[in-house]
């Protein structure tokens, strides 16, 4: 028997998740987890107009917490123009105004977009799972697992607070591979936005072909490499992490390895994100900065709005 989602997915030519910053990360995580299972391209878009390959046969999920982010609005308009199958995830704003008769998932108001990641993810992931016709995630079970993991902090891995103390003045460089690349990027952004300080992210294997040449400067610049390890890494990838560790150690910048055992890929994404999100708020506290306000993002949006 063909299910509705199978029938639908066989007609789809692709899926695009559009959004910026804190509203984009859920899509990047969904892509990291599901792109290889999908029979059609699953892309994320963090820019203005969508690429021309996105047609009426594509599903486009537009995520904007405020509903007023100009890049996402522009992507939304291009999807509307070509007649793509649209899904909107927002609290309101211009995108909601323009979404009469479209399926809209309304987010709770009053938090920062980046703090809405759990709710955005719990909306975006099932949409993509349905569109590509794979089984759906059991979120209530998942939240029980994640709650239990907090007890392992400070035991299996150092507590987020201890790691935050170690990296609050140096510069963290989060390095992930596979599904943890999106987590490394999220961690960098959370340090930027919550702790208001410099952080970088990179991915393996790519960083072995360029960044590694700069590692002899890490100590001088106070850069601490933080390796996000997965228990699902291939043997080759594990060997790569270990060899990279050895090269960095020669320059006196031993990497910190973060790894949690016994988890699925999805659980690793969420558990390590939760750990590093907590670390970023601890880092804000240690640095004496307000982890919530993002005045410069707001100012930039104001300047762009005044100029238009």
Burial of 253 (0-12, 13-18, 19+ CB in 10 A): buried
Residues in region 194-213 near ligand F6R by CB under 6 A: none
Q: In the 8-state DSSP scheme, what is residue 177?
A: E
Binding mask 289-308 toward ligand F6R (x if CB under 6 A, else -) reads -----x--x-----------
Binding mask 104-143 toward ligand F6R (x if CB under 6 A, else -) reads --------xxx-----------------------------
Q: Among residues 8, 49, 57, 66, which is the contact residue for ligand F6R, using CB under 6 A?
A: 66
Q: State which residue, 9 or 64, has the beta carbon closest to ligand F6R.
A: 64
CA distance 287 to 292: 13
Question: Is residue 43 near ligand F6R by the rule CB under 6 A?
Answer: no
Whose CB is nearest to ligand F6R?
21
Binding mask 246-285 toward ligand F6R (x if CB under 6 A, else -) reads ----------------------------------------
Question: Is residue 176 near ligand F6R by the rule CB under 6 A?
Answer: no
Q: State which residue, 64 or 280, has the beta carbon closest to ligand F6R.
A: 64
Q: How far is CA 239 from CA 58, 121, 204, 205, 252, in A?
A: 39, 32, 11, 11, 20
Map residue 288 onto helix, strand or coil: coil
**What phi, psi does 175 have (nearest 5°)?**
-125, 120
CA distance 79 to 91: 20
Task: Give residues in contact with ligand F6R (CB under 6 A).
Answer: 20-23, 64-66, 69, 72, 112-114, 193, 294, 297
């Amino acid at each position: 028997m063909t299910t509705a989602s199978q029938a639908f997915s066989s007609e789809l030519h692709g899926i695009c998740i559009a959004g910026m910053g804190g509203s984009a990360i859920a899509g990047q995580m969904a892509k990291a987890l599901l792109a290889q299972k999908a029979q059609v391209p699953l892309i994320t878009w963090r820019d203005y107009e969508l690429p021309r390959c996105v047609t009426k046969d594509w599903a486009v999920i537009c995520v904007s917490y405020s509903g007023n982010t100009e890049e996402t609005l522009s992507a939304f308009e291009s999807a509307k123009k070509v007649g793509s199958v649209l899904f909107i995830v927002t609290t309101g704003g211009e995108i909601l105004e323009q979404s009469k008769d479209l399926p809209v998932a309304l987010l709770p108001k009053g938090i920062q977009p980046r703090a809405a990641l759990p709710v955005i993810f719990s909306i975006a992931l099932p949409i993509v799972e349905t569109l590509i016709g794979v089984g759906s995630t059991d979120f209530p079970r998942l939240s029980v697992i994640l709650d239990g993991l907090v007890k392992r902090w400070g035991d299996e891995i150092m507590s987020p607070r201890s790691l935050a103390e170690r990296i609050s003045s140096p510069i963290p460089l989060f390095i992930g591979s596979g599904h943890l690349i999106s987590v490394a990027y999220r961690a960098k952004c959370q340090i930027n936005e919550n702790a208001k300080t410099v952080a970088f992210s990179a991915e393996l294997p790519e960083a072995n072909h360029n960044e590694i040449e700069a590692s002899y400067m890490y100590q001088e610049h106070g850069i601490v490499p933080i390796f996000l390890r997965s228990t699902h890494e291939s043997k080759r990838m594990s060997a790569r992490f270990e060899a990279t560790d050895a090269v960095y150690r020669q320059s006196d910048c031993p990497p910190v390895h973060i790894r949690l055992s016994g988890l699925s890929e999805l659980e690793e994404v969420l558990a390590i994100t939760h750990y590093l999100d907590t670390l970023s708020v601890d880092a804000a506290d240690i640095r004496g900065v307000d982890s919530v306000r993002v005045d410069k993002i707001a100012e930039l949006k104001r300047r762009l709005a005044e100029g238009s």
